[in-house]
Amino acid sequence: MRCSQTPETVFLFMSARHSPAGSHEDERRLVERARRDPEAFGELYLRYVRSIYNYIFYRTGDPEEAEDLTSRVFLQALQHLPRFQERGLPFAAWLFRIAHNLVANWHRDRQRHPIFPLSENGHDRSSERVEAALERQEERERLLKAIRRLPPDRQQLLILKFVEGLSNAEIARIMGRTEGAIRVLYHRTLEALRKELTRER
Amino acid sequence: MPDLAYWLELHATRLRQGFRGEAAYPLPPLAFSPSERELFQLAERLTEALRPVEPRPVWVASLYERLMGEARQPRGFPAPSPLLSRWWLGMILGTAALGVWAYRRLHATRH
């Protein structure tokens, strides 16, 4: 995969984002090649950038922070790739772990130095917007805020399940658990989220 | 009878397939208690709320270029920048000048 011009990279991203991740063995070979070949790392980047961006976006709720933190995830991955050891976990699991640590640090820093938004929320209250749409948007915001109050592993499960549309087997591999454990975690997460929403009311 | 976690899993699969409302339930809704039905409804709300977000393609491309730039740099010691080289040159010349000055001063004291 060779791409040095921006439009070409955009095209590769657009075509790579819906392609299947490939087999575990195929990925292992690609990771091995990425240690020496920048283009192979680029291929891994195009394969996972959307997933990592979505994960961080839903954990932070901020597109700019999502871009910044996603950049850091891949820069760290590139820097530490020589030390990455294949232990049966997919490459994505490693990326998600880096993302998880960066998001945790980000939340910790924000608690130390809270940022107060200028407006009450991020809605575009233009006159064309009908009230029903606003209500739906507010409802969604409330739900997303409640999700962000859940423990990180439960947030990760919801993002992988609903945003990424992964099966329990795939989620289990990424999170390093069994399929049965993921099924139980999903049930408990829904229960916890319901309690969180009820408590809010 | 399988446990609720099993039914919730089937429901999530059907939601992924595009089913909504009663059609997504694995059994008729009345087979479940009101509190259990709340969980199914919550899962449906999650499906609507947690949609994939597309990162800006231009940003994706610029990060790609940045990563490629980083990846092509030789590993080990980072390549010195011209500014850093000038700093080192100044440091070496300064140290040499100081050494010459100290030597001459010592030499002059002896004679």
Residue ranges per structural domain of chain A: 1-114, 132-201
pLDDT computed for residue A112 by the predictor: 72
pLDDT, tens digit, for every residue of B35-56?
Answer: 999 999 999 999 999 999 999 9
Answer whether residue A95 shows pLDDT above 70.
Answer: yes
Residues 146-165 of A with CB under 8 A from B: 147, 158-159, 161-165
Domain A1-114 has CATH 1.10.1740.10: yes
Three-state secondary structure string covering A45-62: HHHHHHHHHHHHHHHHCC
CATH architecture for the domain at A132-201: Orthogonal Bundle (1.10)
> CB of A68 within 8 Å of any CB in chain B?
no
Contact check, Cβ <8 Å, B68/A4: yes
Residue B67 CA to residue B54 CA, distance in Å, equals 20
Burial B59-83 (b: 16+ CB within 10 A, else e): bbbbbbeebbeebeeeeeeeeeeee
**Averaged pLDDT score across all residues of chain B:** 88
Predicted ipTM of the assembly: 0.76
Q: Please work out, in degrees rounded to the nearest 5, the angle formed at the alpha carbon of residue A170 by the alpha carbons of B6 and A14.
A: 125
pLDDT computed for residue B81 by the predictor: 60
pLDDT, tens digit, for every residue of A32-55?
Answer: 888 888 899 999 999 999 999 999
Contact check, Cβ <8 Å, B67/A163: no
Under 8 Å between Cβ of A71 and B63? yes
Rounded to 5 degrees, φ, ψ at A156 are: -60, -40
Q: Which of A11-20, A35-44, A140-149, B52-61 has the lowest mean pLDDT?
A: A11-20
Under 8 Å between Cβ of A24 and A90? yes
Residues 53-72 of B with CB under 8 A from A: 53-68, 70-72
Cβ-based contacts of A178 with chain B (< 8 Å):
none
> CB of A63 within 8 Å of any CB in chain B?
yes
pLDDT computed for residue A25 by the predictor: 78
Contact check, Cβ <8 Å, B61/A10: yes
Residue B34 CA to residue B32 CA, distance in Å, equals 7
